[in-house]
Chains A and B, each alone.
Chain A
Amino acid sequence: MKVPTTATTPAAQRPFTTISGVPIEPLYGPEQLPDLDPSRDLGAPGQFPYTRGIHETMYRGKLWTMRQFSGFATPEETNRRYHYLLAQGQTGLSVAFDLPTLMGYDADHMLAEGEVGKCGVAISSLADMETLFRGIPLADVTTSMTINSPAAVLWAMYLAVAEQQGVDWARLSGTIQNDILKEYIAQKEYIFPPRPSMRLVTDTIEFSARHTPRFNPISISGYHIREAGSTAVQELAFTLRDGIEYVEWALARGLAVDQFAPRLSFFFNAHSDFFEEIAKYRAARKIWAHVMRDRFGAKDDRSLKLRFHAQTAGCSLTWQQPYNNIVRTSIQAMAAVLGGCQSLHTNSLDEAYALPSEHAVTIALRTQQVIAHESGVTAAADPLGGSYFLERLTLDTEAAAMAYIRQIDEMGGMIAAIEQNFPQREIANASYEYQKAVERGDKIIVGVNAFQSDREEGVEILQIDRAAQDHQAKKLAALRDTRDNGRVRAVLDALKRTAEGTENTMPFILDAVRAYATLGEICDALRGVFGSYQETSLV
């Protein structure tokens, strides 16, 4: 492999492109922006088309929510981590579930072997959810849950815990990810085929519009699309087109656009290419405002404002020289803030190895606090607005994303595009091109293909042992012995009948959860009606 070990590659010989491969000119000035109309394309912060941010005063009014994604091993251990994070000044919770939970399997299922508690916390029943939030008043925190295929079930468990705490659902604030389309496109944690999955998502959006006015029933996510290797433009375009798909399904359900659109939220990656990322967030807001106003006729300003969570890029973290990851994360977090995010997760330095240790996650949280309170970037709204370079990138990003959105419209929408493997293929191609650029040394990754070092940098690694799996399996066995199994059968039968029809499934999922039917049992009932999804693997 021909790669520089010092910074000796002559600047003129390296192609100057963004990390997504977009060519960059050596200098930008007014002559590069003949098509920019500031009042039309930018507006003021808080004004249509919201390119410069959704609030007039941005972070002067309210800082972003510092929300560290966290979950590991048992609900008992994760509950302790949540109490620690809240004590450190974190302002919102964000639940990471393990793979069996994400796939709708109980911790004692055969396919859960070796996976329980590894990538997040294991939650198999309402009893586990009660433990997860023990001592945390749900009226006073906002909670984000990264759960997709079985999102309705985990959300029902959260609502049931709120009931037990005596908290009115109308006061609950938080987000479920619930974005199934990006699962087929990128993250691949799907259970049911696309259409029944979309029906479940629409059930939650409808239920939320009626019962949980402060809860976001979906977080339409580009994060995983980017982690799967897409370009910035693909991340933006596929995410917004997914959003359009959800809006169309909710309208077809009979909801009015302004009844649910204000609660649609988004989630983007914060990758390493600083200006490309900021341009992406600005273009996202502008496109969404136009889509909601012009395509769907939304009238409520809140329906037009794209609110987003950002997470720094997990795929940019290196195993080599892990302390450099703190620096990468700081730059990425700064891009998210300058791009106007509403909440932010900063990755920990050890996440190329494992889930983060308490020490590493504290540094990651402190990174956000330093940006918020020391860097000065929060004083003025959209401080980079008007930069020739950034405005050119923003317009180009918008145009490229719109071309993809039109292409998917012509294919018949996102489900049709997914069935034709279109977004999957685009991402795989982009990811392979990037990897080849790294192999050639056209793209430098410090510590990996340049500036390598033999010095070992030990990091403390969080180990999840088998005890978590045994502990969870034992609790499940006890639960199945002590609950009213006749009632469980009755609520599961009722759920199956509802799934076969067209009525909203949420009230029936809630009944099942309250009866301590397990996640696996509920998902099995739905698998029986909806079937399971297998993708056509392509390389």
Chain B
Amino acid sequence: MSAPIRVLVAKPGLDGHDRGAKIIARALRDAGMEVIYTGLRQTPEMIVNAALQEDVQVIGLSILSGAHNAIVPRVLELLREKDMADVKVIVGGIIPDEDAAELKRQGVAAVFQPGASLEGIVDFIRSSVAA
């Protein structure tokens, strides 16, 4: 049996709405993954440092405030700088279609919009880490 997938769930920006982040963290844990939750108000630097220290394969960013276009590209940039571009970044929250397409073009592995199923998110992480 292979080692469990390690995931960092992070809440960047000033947004305090952590209902989704907490549900995702629990669902991934219930699916057998090792989950580290950063808590609120993390800067991109703090998130990437935590990802490095915790040696995660996946970073999940939860953003509902509309600040994703300022925050997500910075996380991707820091990952490249630290030679961690193999870490998969997934984003969940209120992300309009056109922004989701642009974030994926920049290197985000998946964007999960409102209504996404937990099972779908678990399946995506399993298949993308295995690939």
Contacts and interface: CB of A to CB of B under 8 A. Distances in A.
A114 B19 contact: no
A103 B14 contact: yes
A1 B96 CA distance: 25
Interface string A181-209: 00100011100000000000000000000
A118 interface: yes
B35 A118 contact: no
B7 to A, nearest CB: 11
Given A188-B40, A318-B114, A353-B94, A539 B25 contact: yes
B65 A99 contact: yes
Interface string B39-65: 111000000000000000000000001
Contacts of B9: 539
Interface string A499-539: 00000000000000000000000000000000000110101
A319 B40 contact: no
Nearest to A534: B39
A152 B10 CA distance: 31
A114 B115 contact: no
Nearest to A463: B96
Contact of A539 (B17, B22, B96, B114): B22
A439 B117 contact: yes
Interface stretch (A331-339, A375-383, A415-423, A427-435): A427-435
A20 interface: no
B39 A535 contact: yes
A100 B66 CA distance: 13
Given A115-B65, A229-B19, A537 B39 contact: yes
Contacts of B26: 428, 432, 539
A118 B63 CA distance: 12
B115 A319 contact: yes
Contacts of A187: 16-17
Nearest to A117: B66
Nearest to B26: A432
Interface in B92-117: 94, 96, 113-115, 117
A119 interface: yes
A535 B94 CA distance: 24
A435 B35 CA distance: 19
A229 B21 CA distance: 12
Dominant SS at the A interface?
A: loop
A187 B117 CA distance: 24
Contact of B114 (A228, A352, A534, A535): A352
Contacts of B23: 229, 431-432, 435
Interface in B1-30: 9, 13-19, 22-23, 25-27, 29
B83 interface: no
A319 B18 contact: no
Contacts of B41: 111
A179 interface: no
A317 to B, nearest CB: 8
Contacts of A534: 39
Q: Which of B18, B39, B40, B65 has the most CB of A within 10 A?
A: B18
A280 B35 CA distance: 36
A320 B94 CA distance: 12
Given A111-B14, A352-B94, A539-B37, A227 B19 contact: yes
A191 to B, nearest CB: 11
Contacts of A448: 115
B33 interface: no
A354 B27 CA distance: 27
B19 A431 contact: yes
B37 A537 contact: yes
Given A448-B115, A535-B39, A539-B37, A119 B29 contact: no
Nearest to A183: B16
A464 B66 contact: yes
A320 B113 CA distance: 10
Interface of B: 9, 13-19, 22-23, 25-27, 29, 35, 37-41, 65-67, 69-71, 94, 96, 113-115, 117-120
22 contacts: A99-B65, A102-B14, A111-B14, A114-B13, A114-B71, A115-B66, A228-B17, A228-B19, A229-B19, A319-B94, A319-B113, A428-B26, A431-B22, A432-B22, A432-B26, A432-B27, A439-B119, A449-B117, A537-B38, A539-B22, A539-B26, A539-B35
- Pairs of residues from A and B, 5 with the lowest C-beta to C-beta distance, nearest first: A114-B70, A188-B16, A537-B39, A114-B67, A99-B14
Given A115-B67, A439-B118, 13 more contacts: A99-B13, A100-B14, A115-B70, A227-B19, A318-B114, A319-B113, A352-B114, A353-B96, A354-B66, A431-B19, A435-B27, A537-B39, A539-B22
